[in-house]
């Protein structure tokens, strides 16, 4: 895993933590949840594309 993949995986983990935190609030902000989930999916897609192409390319 190169440095870029590592940083993306850290961001992905932080987004997952924020999503969990937002869901546990008394009144979760649905717009914030949607934005966090979209960002998490975009990061996941980039990681998947990088790993599929051998880790050298940035999608």
Q: How confident is the model at residue 56, as a pLDDT?
A: 54
Which pTM value belongs to this model? 0.81
pLDDT computed for residue 1 by the predictor:
74
Burial class of residue 3 (count of CB atoms within 10 Å of its CB; 0-12, 13-18, 19+) = exposed
Q: What is the DSSP string of the chain?
A: --HHHHHHHHHHHHHHHHHHHHHHSSS--HHHHHHHHHHHHHHHHHHHHHHHTTS----
Phi, psi (rounded to 5 degrees) for 17: -65, -45
Segment 1-59, tens digit of pLDDT: 789 999 999 999 999 999 999 999 999 999 999 999 999 999 999 999 988 887 554 44
């Amino acid at each position: 895993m190169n440095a870029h993949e590592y940083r993306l995986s850290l961001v992905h983990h932080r987004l997952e933590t924020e999503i969990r935190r937002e869901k546990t609030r008394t009144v979760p902000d649905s717009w914030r949840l949607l934005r966090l989930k979209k960002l998490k999916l975009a990061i996941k897609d980039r990681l998947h594309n990088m790993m599929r192409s051998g880790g050298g390319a940035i999608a």
